Amino acid sequence: MMPPPPVPLTRDLVLLGGGHTHALVLKRWAMDPLPGARVTLISPDPTAPYTGMLPGHVAGHYGREELEIDLVQLARRAGARLILDRACGIDRSAQTVALQGRPPVAYDVLSVDIGISSDLPALPGYAEHAVSAKPLGRYAARWERFVQAVATGAAPPQVAVIGGGVAGVELALAMAHRLRGTRGAQVTVIEAAPAPLPGIGAGARARLLAHMAAAGVSLRTGTAVAGITAEAVRLEDGAHLPAALVVGAAGTRPQDWLRGTGLDLTQGFITVGPTLQSPTDPRIFAAGDCAHMRHAPRPKAGVYAVRQAPVLLHNLRAALAEAGRLRQYHPQRDYLKLVSLGGRRALADKWGLPLEGRWLWALKDGIDARFMAGFAPPPVQAPPQPRQSAAGQAGAQGNQPLCGGCGAKIAPAPLRQALAGLPAPDRADIQTGAGDDAAVLRMGDMRQVIATDHLRAFSVDPFIMARIAAVHALGDIWAMGAAPQALLLNVTLPRMSEALQARTLAEIMAAAQAVAGAEGAAIVGGHSAMGAEMSIGFTVTGLAGDRVLTKSGARPGDALILTRPLGTGIVLAAEMAMQAQGRDVAAALDAMATPQGAAAALLAPRASAMTDVTGFGLAGHLMEMLTAAGCGATLFAGALPVLPGVRDLIAAGHGSALAQGNRAALAGQVHPGAPEGATDVGALLHDPQTAGGLLAAVPEDAAPILLSALQSAGFTQAAVIGTLHDGAPDITVNPGAGPVRGA
């Protein structure tokens, strides 16, 4: 009996923003998804900092990774796609969200949790010289850079905090604690009102002021900031406060673009009722700090965002199913405020009764730790094995899921066996070389190159998959020194409604057209189908002049240039297991989605041979070049460019399923020169790359000039990674960095 087909996708849920409410919604969605609903999370960053732990991080009690919710891992668990972009509008008639870096994304139900800002855009010098406490991620990164600059003497330890509310005072105490013992350290809080700390009990206020005095934090009240320079804050009373870091924590501002949505707003925040729906449009929900609860106004606080999550999840599911009653959210009137005091002590305030001590820090630390533990990826579990199976299952199945991208290619050995019996083309107008990236077609005086490639999806985002697939396929054209001409799209979509088919294909075509159009090429047709999973591929053609680059042109004495870093297969394999850091995944996706036409244009006129590094890894594709040219190569292990996080993933045992076959295909032909680095280097050499870099053999004297030109063109991690020499086709790895270093 055939297994039941997967439930078709019929409705799009878009979660705009990676705030605490949406993070909790995704966490619960992962445990009980709604069949037929496709979920999209839109966030400008791959991680979202947890507000409760930010003061502890600033004070030095937590590392950055301890307070960040990894949205990449969370989206993977929930089966959602994560779009790393910033929203700039909502078209309610078209039911789309406008983004800054890609076409609009359609929704059937939309939820907004984009947080707030403490920017002061009207203040002279603020944009150039200050950082806002919110959004938190930018401030945390700026603070760490400032601390390092103070430690090296590059910046004086002088900080000014604009805003004397609880948030400003808490951050001031944390920064003072981190700078304690630093000669000349000074933290000043500036409050325009006559008194600081509104909205907190008198007893708690008195204690916080005492702690500020004990920590050496100065307080200026009754005067506003008139302007900011790189060295100081100018007050309206004429005073100048020296400050190398200025932090804005005065009040809260909504995102400015919300004014253009036509939604009912309260002081710029999205108005919602008890069901967290906009009264303007019931298809739009809002939660967290960006929402104003008209039925129960409350200050902006994370406790409300957290407690909105179960109600929001229930109501989103009901709206998507168009069935069931919506629940109402009624917030409590007061809540326990736990304020960090810099050191490992905290102050509690509720009902005007203050308490403080180390035990309250321990209480707060435990609450925060439990909250963050809920977002940790689950332990990796091996799939259940059948009671009995045909012989050879263990070796054929391997010990990990099938990879996506080029990691899903057939291994080199069986592929070569299949191609060995294929006769050479018996046509004068077809020119092929052993292992060349594309076939060359002769049509009169013109030469056209043609190749095809497709990718098994490693992301549920059709836009990013189409962009990477187009870059990947065009690599064969660039490697031959040709100019892209035409692309034929081949796409398989999972089962979905016609409405979602149209939306998905529109995203795919937009991504493909963006890549093709920038190269002067055109999409001229293709083929579409429905299947078990998404795959996207392209047949591509290019036009070449009198000279077509092949792998056989490499010469002893040439230098080898690689245009971008290695490690995509390792990152993608670890991401499938939810073990890769979100920032590292984002860096890998960005690298894969970057076209290389400009790099090819720089290299092709001087290169003697060129290829693109894809499924068979750097060693496999280099060996094709060496075999065709009849020479050997020395690689410099220290010069190999590597994606962020890859070496840590290698040390943790992560790798693509195809890497083992790549390694076996070159047994005895790759000689690591440093046994202590053999595991690390070997993993990099055999890792299958998706949309990997161009590998060019160039005259040795041209290498420094070409490398400088590549880096100036934006290929900042391009590197000279080795040289060619006389001898049998093999690869020797030198542990050094080589004679030519990048800028």
pLDDT at res. 676: 42
Percent of the chain with pLDDT over 90: 79
SS3 498: helix
Cα–Cα distance measured from residue 227 to residue 218, given in angstroms and rounded to the nearest whole number: 19
Tokens of 646: 């890859």
Handedness of CA 27, 29, 31, 36 (dihedral sign): negative
Provide Rg for the chain, Cα atoms. 29
pLDDT at res. 394: 64
Tokens of 723: 């040289």
Say if CB 181 and CB 207 are below 8 A apart: no
Domain formed by 11-116+254-332, architecture: 3-Layer(bba) Sandwich (3.50)
Q: How many CA atoms lie within 13 A of 597 on its CB side?
A: 17
Cα–Cα distance measured from residue 30 to residue 40, given in angstroms and rounded to the nearest whole number: 13
More confident residue, 574 or 4: 574
Residue that the structure tokens 């700090």 belong to? 289
pLDDT at res. 679: 62
Report, as an integer, the average pLDDT of 453-461.
Answer: 94
Alpha-carbon separation of residue 232 from 125, 154, 173, 235, 478 (angstroms): 10, 16, 20, 10, 52
Cα–Cα distance measured from residue 625 to residue 463, given in angstroms and rounded to the nearest whole number: 33
Global pTM reads: 0.93
Cα 603 to the chain's mean position, in Å? Answer: 29
Which region, left, alpha or beta, applies to residue 509 given φ > 0 means left and ψ of -120 to 50 means alpha? alpha
Say if CB 115 and CB 252 are below 8 A apart: no
pLDDT value at 742 more than 80: no
Say if CB 246 and CB 130 are below 8 A apart: yes
Cα 454 to the chain's mean position, in Å? Answer: 23
Topology annotation, domain 117-253+336-374: FAD/NAD(P)-binding domain (3.50.50)
Beta bridge partners of 82: 41
pLDDT at res. 677: 45
SS3 403: coil
Residue that the structure tokens 């934090």 belong to? 217
Least confident of 387-391, 549-553, 600-604, 731-735: 387-391
Cα–Cα distance measured from residue 243 to residue 187, given in angstroms and rounded to the nearest whole number: 9
Percent of the chain with pLDDT over 70: 95
User: Which residue spans of the chain are classified as CATH 3.50.50.100?
Assistant: 117-253+336-374
Question: Which pLDDT band holds residue 678 (cuts at 50, 70, 90)?
Answer: low
Which CATH number is 437-548's, of 2.60.260.20, 3.90.1570.10, 3.30.450.40, 3.30.1330.10?
3.30.1330.10
pLDDT at res. 421: 72
Relative orientation angle of helices 462-479 and 498-518, to the nearest 10 degrees: 30
Handedness of CA 659, 648, 145, 66 (dihedral sign): positive
pLDDT at res. 1: 46
Tokens of 624: 């094709």
pLDDT value at 675 more than 90: no
More confident residue, 5 or 118: 118
- Indicate if 406 belongs to the active site: yes
Tokens of 209: 């002021």
Beta bridge partners of 483: 543
Question: Which pLDDT band holds residue 690 (cuts at 50, 70, 90)?
Answer: very high
Residue that the structure tokens 């999806």 belong to? 457
Cα–Cα distance measured from residue 566 to residue 98, given in angstroms and rounded to the nearest whole number: 33
β-pairing, 609-612 vs 694-698, is antiparallel
Is 3.90.650.10 the CATH classification of the domain at 550-743?
yes
Nearest to 673 by CA among 726, 738, 590, 741: 738
Cα–Cα distance measured from residue 5 to residue 533, given in angstroms and rounded to the nearest whole number: 12
Tokens of 129: 């010289």
Question: Which pLDDT band holds residue 377 (cuts at 50, 70, 90)?
Answer: confident
Nearest to 49 by CA among 134, 162, 107, 157: 134
Produce one character per residue of 94-119: b if its CB has 16 or more CB atoms within 10 Å, e if not.
Answer: ebbbbbeebbbbbbbbbbbbbbbbbb
Average pLDDT, the chain: 92
Residue that the structure tokens 């700026």 belong to? 142
Question: Which pLDDT band holds residue 3 (cuts at 50, 70, 90)?
Answer: low
Ranges assigned E (strand) in 533-606: 535-544, 559-562
pLDDT at res. 477: 96
Beta bridge partners of 719: 562
Question: Which pLDDT band holds residue 91 (cuts at 50, 70, 90)?
Answer: very high
β-pairing, 109-112 vs 284-286, is parallel
Question: Which pLDDT band holds residue 82 (cuts at 50, 70, 90)?
Answer: very high
User: Which residue spans of the chain are classified as CATH 3.50.50.60?
Assistant: 11-116+254-332
DSSP secondary structure letters along 414-470: HHHHHHHTPPPP--TTEE--TT-SSEEEEETTEEEEEEEEEEE-SSS-HHHHHHHHH
Residue that the structure tokens 């990990």 belong to? 400
Q: Which of 290, 403, 406, 631 is catalytic?
A: 406
pLDDT at res. 439: 85
pLDDT at res. 121: 87
What 3 state SS string does 156-223 have? CCEEEEECCCHHHHHHHHHHHHHCCCCCCCEEEEEECCCCCCCCCCHHHHHHHHHHHHHCCEEEEECC
pLDDT at res. 381: 67
In the sheet with 439-443, reading across from the earlier edge strand, the strands are: 430-431, 439-443, 446-456, 535-544, 483-494, 522-531
Cα 533 to the chain's mean position, in Å? Answer: 23
Which region, left, alpha or beta, applies to residue 222 given φ > 0 means left and ψ of -120 to 50 means alpha? left
User: CA dihedral defined by 600, 601, 607, 613, rounded to 10 degrees?
Assistant: 0
Convert the pLDDT of each residue in 275-322 to its tens digit.
999 999 999 999 999 999 999 999 888 899 999 999 999 999 999 999
DSSP secondary structure letters along 596-653: -HHHHHHHTTT-SEEEE--TTHHHHHHHHHHHHHT-EEEEEGGG--B-TTHHHHHHTT
pLDDT at res. 339: 93
Cα–Cα distance measured from residue 736 to residue 12, given in angstroms and rounded to the nearest whole number: 52
Question: Which pLDDT band holds residue 405 (cuts at 50, 70, 90)?
Answer: confident
Cα–Cα distance measured from residue 312 to residue 275, given in angstroms and rounded to the nearest whole number: 8
Convert the pLDDT of each residue in 126-173 to its tens digit.
999 999 998 888 899 999 999 999 999 999 999 999 999 999 999 999
Tokens of 591: 């690298």
Say if CB 218 and CB 241 are below 8 A apart: no
Query: CA end-to-end span of the chain, whole Å?
Result: 62
266 C-beta neighbours (distance < 10 Å), count: 14
Nearest to 541 by CA among 560, 556, 525, 554: 525
User: Which residue spans of the chain are classified as CATH 3.90.650.10?
Assistant: 550-743
Report, as an integer, the average pLDDT of 667-679.
Answer: 69
Report, as an integer, the average pLDDT of 671-698.
Answer: 84
Least confident of 10-19, 86-95, 418-427: 418-427
